[in-house]
Each structure stands twice: as C-alpha cells, then as structure tokens.
A and B are shown apart, each in its own frame.
Chain A
Amino acid sequence: MEPFRQHRGRVVPLDRANVDTDAIIPKQFLKSVKRTGFGESLFHAWRYLPPSDEHGEHRLNPDFVLNHPHHQGASILLARKNFGCGSSREHAVWALGEAGFRAVIAPSYSEIFFNNCFKNGFLPIVLEENIIEQLFQEVDALRGYELLVDLENRRIETHHGEHISFEINEFHRMCLIEGLDQIGLTLQHRDAIEAYESQRREQAPWLFQGPAEAAK
C-alpha cells in the first residue's frame, strides 16, 4: 500500500448529504473479480448522461461538479455528512482512488466505508460541520482551490494558509503513514490467536463445529 504522509491537491466540492456507496459505484460495476478498473465508473449515474442512442455511448454530464473543467485533476473530495453510507462494497474506495483521489473531507462517514479507506491508502478526514461549511464557501469562491493534507501533524492547511487540526486514531494514522500490511501485522500475534482459540474450544466447543467439519 502506498504510504500517506502529506498530500497537496485540488479540492472538488460534492454538496449533498448521505452520498451512498451505490452512488459512488453502482452495482453493475461490481461484477469484476479484480481490484482495478473502477475509476471510470465513479459516480456513474451522476457523471454521465443517459445513453442517447442504441450504441449506449456514455457522454459526460457537464452539470456534474466533477466534470467542471476547473475541477479536473482534483484529488481531494469535500463532502457532506454520512458520506459512504449503505453497502459495504470496498469498490467505492477503489473507484475513488483510481479516479485520482487521495482524501475526502466530511463531517461524518458510514463506518464500513470509513474502515475500508484505511486499507487502501485513502484518508477520510472528519471536521466539524461549521468548518466544512467554511471550506465549501472557500472552494466556491476560488477556482483551483488547493489544500495541503498533513497526516503526520494531523492537520490541513487551507489555500489561504490557515491550519485546521483533525483527529484520527493512532492505529489508522500509522497504517496510512507506514503503508502497513495489516494482515502481516496481525499474524505477529499468531500465538495469542492460537491461545485464545484453544481456550475457547474448551469453553464453547459448539462454536468450532463449523460447516466444513460437519461435512467431513
């Protein structure tokens, strides 16, 4: 996983609450068995116009904010509350990452989406609603608005040089900064897992009579 320490990038504002993962990446794109190929389909129903002819070619919807010329190349998404609600599909984070995004800033997230971000070098920043509102106004007022996300110091620096701190739990911060393989990290506790299992097997043996064992 690509480490995340600092990132400077252009901001695109997505001014609606409760953006769900069906909207971020619709289900027709979840049939792939691969981890890549989702970027083109990010926000598909909003980003493209309905196909106008039988060839079904999708043209960009010029009204959708991600398609505005001055937002091209943006890598930070500014969003409203409860971002990423709904389905657990990690494809939503993969699609954002492939479309060039490294971070999202919102007042709140659905928890599954939030957790999925840290597995993919993608930073979800939580800020108070009034600060989010201020950022929306600043972004609207200035074309090419940029932010510096400084994860090492847990703060962002606005286009105008203002520093705004954010909170993030230490485990998530370390995973991003080090680009950690979480499975490898957990397997360092192999002995503890095995000890737990053998004690649990004594206490509650019915938990270990799983399908594969029953099939034998």
Chain B
Amino acid sequence: MAGKTLYDKLWDDHVVHRNPDGAVLLYIDRHLVHEVTSPQAFEGLKIAGRPAWRVDSMLATADHNVPTTDRSHGIQDAVSRIQVETLDANCRDFGIVEFGMNDPRQGIVHVIGPEQGATLPGMTVVCGDSHTATHGAFGALAFGIGTSEVEHVMATQCLVQHRMKNMLVRVNGRLGRGVTAKDLILATIGRIGTAGGTGYAIEFDGEGIHALSMEGRMTVCNMAIEAGARSGMVAVDDVTIDYLADRPYGPKGAMFDRAVKAWRTLHSDPDAVFDHVVEMDAGSLAPQVTWGTSPEMVLNVDETIPDPRNEPDPTRREGIERALVYMDLKPGMRPADIKLDRVFIGSCTNSRIEDLRAAAEVVQGRAVAPSLKQAMVVPGSGLIKRQAEQEGLDRIFLDAGFEWREPGCSMCLAMNADRLGPGEHCASTSNRNFEGRQGHGGRTHLVSPPMAAAAAVAGHFVDSRQYSAAV
C-alpha cells in the first residue's frame, strides 16, 4: 500500500464517524471566530437552546469592521459598531476568549491564531473565512466555512465533510533576492488558474517552500483559496517548531517536547501518491503584478498585458475583455505604465513583521511619490505593530509619507472606512482583485510588500529589486 500524504494523515486523525454514503464526521480542534460570519450562528444556538460544545477550542477577535484610525471614540459607523458589539456580547454570554478592539493582542484572525500559538501542527482549524487556509502553513488541516458550518462546529465540535483529492505543488530551487512568497503563490495561481485547485487539498513542498520563514509559508497557504483549494499546507520542519516555542497558548516544557515528537511525523511519506503534481521553478520567478480582476490575471513586472485576440478560449477571452474595460487598461501596456492612486500594505496575506521589514527596506531614505493620494501600512496585529515600532519601522514609513495604522482587515475588503474611490488604481498586498473588492469601482493590483513599497515611491509599478540594498 502506498504511503500517506500529509493531508491523508491529518484527515485520518480526525475521523469521528463514517457515514455509509461516504461522508465523514470530522473533529475540529480549533475554531477561530470574527464578527462578520458569526452573529447568525450564535443566534441559531440561542434559538435552539444549544450550548457550545467546547468553548476552549475557540478564539475570537474583531477584525473586518474595526477602524484603523484612532479608536478612542469607538466605531463611527453604527451598523459596524453593532456587529462588533454583538461579537463582544456573544463571547461574554458563551465564555469565549475574545481579543476585543482595544486589546493589545487584537488583530486579523489569521495573524493572531499563529502568533498566540492557538494554531498548532496536527490540528484541524476552521473559521468563517476563506483565508483560513493560512493556518495550513503549520502542518494543520485548515479551511474556511460558511455561517451554518460555524454554528455546526460550535454545537458539535465536528463538521460533515467529504475527502478531497491530493495535489502537490513542488517548488524546486530557491527564490531569488527580492522575490517573495507572494510572488511564488501569485505565479502558481497564474499557472494553475483560480479553479485549478478546486476539489484538492494542496501541499506545498520542495526546497523553495522549506527555505521560507513561517511568515512566507503563511502567505503561500493563505492564497491556496485563490487557486480554488480550500486548504493549503506545508509539512512540519525545524522552522515550524522554532516558531512555536513559547507561544502563549502553545504547549510548554515537557509537553512541548512530547508534542514535537508527534509533530515530526506530520509530512507526506516518501511513497505517498498525489492525484496531481505541479512543479514550480523558484529561481526563475520575477516579482509579480496582477493586471485584471482575477488573481490568475498576473504578469512578471516586465511583461505586457495580454491581447484578448490571442486567447482561443471564448470564455477566457471574454473575461480578459471585461477585465480590460473594468481596469481601464490596454493590451500591450506594462505594469510600469499603470498610474497609481493608492498603496495598501496589509491584510492576512502580507501584514506580518517580515512583510513590514521588507517594505521598510525599500522605503528607507525615500519618499512616497507626490502623485499618490494615499499610502498606508496596516499591521496584522497589535503585537506586530508594537514590534515594528520597537524596530523603528513606523518612523521609516511615516518619514516617507505613509500612514501608520491600527491593525485590522482594512482596505483588503473595505468593510471599514478604508477604501478606494471609483476608478482608482491601488497597489495592494492583499489577496483579491475582484471588481469592487476594495471599494465600488476600485481597481486592485496584487503585489508583494516590497513591490507595493517600490510602487509607492515611484507612483507606478517598478521592479522593487532596483531599490533593494545591494548584496
């Protein structure tokens, strides 16, 4: 019999019951909760008179709706305020630990889980948010769920699931200087398409993945969903274990040593069989820029925007034509020809300390182009913000003309006040460039933190490697 993949191991470890029809009752170890997708689930429990099965499996925070400006006067938008207050009240009622808006540990749910050691290898991790795939970076099975499933996990600690197929994305070689995990995942999505991973759990493996920090691996797994896969994951190695030593909710002392022994088994067996394998050559990758309204519409920074007349598939051709109109771009243009209005550095994809350091390195000693309306940095959590300030990164950004904000999802999806105006082009380190995602009529270009920083300085896209310190 062939060996098991990492996904197979995680799946088998969590099967509570098998239905005759093939569906499985899967046990959930960690449930992360935020204000947008939980109120109707809590309401459902209350109406049915059901208790939460295991409140200690949950960790909650408000991130989507919170202002990233001064919070001392609360949330101005009444509807947003009610949603955040509803989360506070529900967590109080059920006894769930919540990092409220003014807690120094508050932040984006996918940033604080790992930061607190609430995300551990071998866990099943769910959240009412598609970017839950992020947590797979720790050798966990992590996936996003809808609100009915949020309620289901709260009430039963389980989900009814069907097994997915196994895909391996093997990243050979290492990324070049100034090329980041973000470029790697964007290039992968460009290769396999936004539905390429549908029906699969993707394991990212190879030298190029294991050379990444945990921050980089989280960036890669985060966007597995943009390739259509609910889950992305990376096997446990020394980098994983070093990151987890001494996290607030993680195991300590002898228990940590015992856990490490179990975690060391969390990798695909050498003879495991994958249903599909994709090979990426890390060394050949350049910084990436999306030009269109789907993450698969992506280019090397020096390439030209495609001509729909060269696209044989009619549905794809129509998609390109529609995107060109929405983005107000022409075939043959290069990223350098796109005039930018705003720059956003943040989101669950790219708001961790390493991202801020990489952006600051480009910005240091330079200034935001006067043609920009706004350039902002939104750290992923209060703790990251504090660490960045201790390292002096905030001064670098502020001196260059960036805004330095409070943590939250912010302009990634523009549920709070941070958003694009109609027609504005934004260089964004977030994960989705859908029509209207960052504000009605807004035009999003997805890039890495150094590329966003370089674009802020130039006022248009440039290859950020020309601004990096010489090696």
- Give me the interface of A with B, judged by CB distance under 8 Å: 16-18, 20, 22-23, 26-28, 30-35, 45, 50, 80-82, 85-91, 93, 108-112, 115-116, 119-120, 169-171, 174, 182-183, 186-187, 189, 192-193, 196-197, 200, 204-215
> What are the nearest 5 A-B pairs in CB distance?
A210-B56, A119-B148, A90-B146, A33-B39, A116-B146
Known: A189-B25, A212-B56, A213-B56. A33 touches B122 (CB 8 A): no
CB distance from A57 to the nearest CB of B (A): 15
Which of A112, A197, A212 sits near B55, CB closer than 8 Å? A212
**0/1 per residue, B234-251, Cβ < 8 Å to A?**
000000000000001111
Shortest beta-carbon distance, B461 to chain A, in Å? 24
Contacting pair A211 B58 (CB below 8 A): yes
The distance from the CB of B281 to the nearest CB of chain A, in whole angstroms, is 27
How many whole Å from B67's CB to the nearest CB in chain A? 13
**Which listed segment binds A: B213-221, B347-355, B399-407, B434-442?**
B434-442
CB of B277 within 8 Å of the partner chain: no
Across the interface, do B122 and A207 meet the contact criterion of CB distance under 8 Å?
yes
Given A183-B151, A212-B55: A193 in contact with B25 (beta carbons within 8 A):
yes
Q: How large is the interface on B (under 10, 10 to 19, 20 to 34, 35 or more residues)?
A: 35 or more
Whether A211 pairs with B249 at a CB distance below 8 angstroms is yes
B1 at interface (Cβ–Cβ under 8 A)? no
Closest beta carbon of chain B to A39's beta carbon, Å: 15
Q: Does B71 contact A (CB under 8 A)?
A: no
**In residues 372-417 of chain B, which contact A (Cβ within 8 Å)?**
413-415
Task: Known contacts A22-B434, A211-B56; decide if A115 and B149 are in contact (CB<8 Å).
Answer: yes
Q: Among A34, A174, A209, point to the contact of B249 (Cβ < 8 A).
A: A209
Give A38 Cβ to nearest chain B Cβ, in Å: 11
B31-66 vs A: 1/0 string, CB under 8 Å?
000001101100100001010011111110000110
Cα distance, A204 to B118, chains bound together (Å): 15
Instruction: Identify the stretch in B173-181, B194-202, B299-307 within 8 Å (CB) of chain A at 4 or more residues.
Output: B194-202
A85→B230 contact, CB < 8 A: no
Contact with A along B115-152 (1 / 0, CB 8 A): 01010101100001110100000000001111111011
How far is it, in angstroms, between the C-alpha of A180 and the C-alpha of B261 when the chains are bound? Answer: 42
Complex contact A212–B96 (CB within 8 A): yes
The reply on B315 being an interface residue by CB < 8 A is yes
Please tell me if B312 contacts chain A, counting CB pairs below 8 Å.
no
Contact across chains for B251 and A206 when beta carbons are under 8 A apart: yes
Residues from chain B with Cβ under 8 Å of A197 in the complex: 27, 157
A-B contact pairs, 26 of them (CB 8 A): A17-B315, A20-B432, A22-B413, A22-B436, A26-B440, A27-B414, A45-B436, A45-B440, A82-B228, A88-B129, A88-B130, A88-B145, A90-B147, A90-B148, A110-B228, A111-B199, A119-B146, A171-B23, A183-B50, A189-B25, A192-B16, A204-B122, A207-B120, A209-B255, A210-B57, A212-B95
CB-CB under 8 A from A112, the residues of chain B are 130, 143-146, 230
**Cβ A186 vs Cβ B160 within 8 A:** yes
CB distance from B403 to the nearest CB of A (A): 21
Nearest residue, chain A, Cβ from B422:
A50
Partner of A33, one of B29, B40, B56: B40
Chain A contacts of B230 at CB under 8 A? 111-112
**Does A86 contact B130, Cβ atoms closer than 8 Å?**
yes
